[in-house]
Chains A and B, each alone.
Chain A
Amino acid sequence: MNPLTFTLNQKLEQRIDLSPLTPDQLHGKTIEEIRLIHLEFGKLRIPTGQIFDITGNDSNDIVFSNCSSKSDFIGKNMQSGRISVYGDVGACLGFQMKNGEIFVHGNAGTFAASGMSAGLISINGNAGDFLGAAYFGDRKGMKGGTVIVSGNAGDRVGDQMRRGVILIEGDAGNYCASRMLAGTIGVLGNVGEHIGFSMRRGTVLLFKPPKLHPTINDCGSITLPFLKLLFKSFEPLPTKFAKIKKDRVRKYAGDIANDGKGEILLFND
Chain B
Amino acid sequence: MKINGVEIDDTFAEAFGMRGTRVIITAQNLKWAYNAATAMTGFATSVIACGVEAGIEREISPDASPDGRPGVSILMFAMGSAVLMKQLETRLGQCVLTCPTAAAFSGIENVPDRINLGKNLRFFGDGFQISKKIDGKRFWRIPVMDGEFLTEETTGMVRAVGGGNFLILAESQHQALAACEAAIESMKKIPNVIMPFPGGVVRSGSKVGSKYKTLIASTNDAFCPTLKGITKSELSMEIESVMEIVIDGLTDSDIRLAMCSGIQAACRLGKENGIRRISAGNYGGKLGQFHFKLHEIMQGVKV
Q: A224-B148, A225-B148, A225-B150 are in contact. Are A230 and B67 (CB under 8 A)?
A: no
A182 located at the interface, meaning its Cβ lies under 8 Å from any Cβ of chain B in the complex: yes
Contact: B134 with A224, CB < 8 Å?
Answer: no
A225 to B132, CA, bound (A): 12
Say whether chain A's binding surface is mostly helix, strand, loop, or mixed. mixed
Contact: A229 with B139, CB < 8 Å?
Answer: yes
A136 located at the interface, meaning its Cβ lies under 8 Å from any Cβ of chain B in the complex: no
B123 located at the interface, meaning its Cβ lies under 8 Å from any Cβ of chain A in the complex: no
Per-residue B-contact encoding for A210-252, CB less than 8 Å = 1, 0 else: 0000000000001111101110110000000000000000000
B66 located at the interface, meaning its Cβ lies under 8 Å from any Cβ of chain A in the complex: yes
A163 located at the interface, meaning its Cβ lies under 8 Å from any Cβ of chain B in the complex: yes
Per-residue A-contact encoding for B64-96, CB less than 8 Å = 1, 0 else: 001111000000000000000000000000000
B130 located at the interface, meaning its Cβ lies under 8 Å from any Cβ of chain A in the complex: yes
Contact: A232 with B132, CB < 8 Å?
Answer: no
Chain A: minimal CB distance from B223 (Å): 49
How many A-B pairs fall under 8 Å by CB?
42
Contact: B132 with A222, CB < 8 Å?
Answer: no
Chain A: minimal CB distance from B165 (Å): 39
Chain B residues 120-143 with CB under 8 Å of chain A are 128, 130-135, 139, 141
Question: Number of contacting residues on B, CB 8 A?
Answer: 17
Q: A201-B130, A261-B130 are in contact. Are A229 and B66 (CB under 8 A)?
A: yes
Max chain B C-beta neighbours (<10 A), residue from A222, A223, A226: A226
A90 to B179, CA, bound (A): 75
Contact: A225 with B134, CB < 8 Å?
Answer: no
Give the residues in chain A near B229, CB-CB below 8 Å: none
Q: A229-B66, A229-B67, A232-B68 are in contact. Are A224 and B132 (CB under 8 A)?
A: no
Contact: A226 with B147, CB < 8 Å?
Answer: no
A261 to B103, CA, bound (A): 22
Chain A: minimal CB distance from B135 (Å): 5
A53 to B135, CA, bound (A): 39
Contact: B68 with A230, CB < 8 Å?
Answer: no
A39 to B190, CA, bound (A): 63
Per-residue A-contact encoding for B165-201, CB less than 8 Å = 1, 0 else: 0000000000000000000000000000000000000
Say whether chain B's binding surface is mostly helix, strand, loop, or mixed. strand
Give the residues in chain B near A223, CB-CB below 8 Å: 147
A22 located at the interface, meaning its Cβ lies under 8 Å from any Cβ of chain B in the complex: no
Contact: A226 with B135, CB < 8 Å?
Answer: no
Chain A: minimal CB distance from B63 (Å): 11
Contact: B133 with A163, CB < 8 Å?
Answer: yes
Closest to A230 in B: B134
A223 to B130, CA, bound (A): 15
Give the residues in chain B near A201, CB-CB below 8 Å: 130
Chain B: minimal CB distance from A129 (Å): 26
Q: A229-B139, A232-B68 are in contact. Are A203 and B147 (CB under 8 A)?
A: no
Chain A: minimal CB distance from B264 (Å): 40
Per-residue B-contact encoding for A245-269, CB less than 8 Å = 1, 0 else: 0000000000000000101000000
A182 to B66, CA, bound (A): 23
A230 to B139, CA, bound (A): 11
Contact: B67 with A233, CB < 8 Å?
Answer: no
- Nearest 7 CB-CB pairs, A to B? A225-B150, A233-B135, A228-B67, A233-B134, A228-B68, A226-B150, A229-B134
18 contacts between A and B (CB under 8 A): A203-B130, A203-B132, A222-B147, A222-B148, A224-B147, A224-B148, A225-B67, A225-B147, A226-B132, A226-B134, A226-B150, A228-B67, A228-B69, A229-B66, A229-B67, A229-B134, A233-B135, A263-B130
Chain A interface (Cβ < 8 Å from any Cβ of B) = 163, 182, 184, 201, 203, 222-226, 228-230, 232-233, 261, 263
With contacts A184-B132, A229-B132 known, what are 11 further pairs, Cβ within 8 A?
A: A203-B130, A222-B147, A222-B148, A225-B69, A225-B147, A225-B148, A226-B150, A228-B69, A232-B67, A232-B68, A233-B134
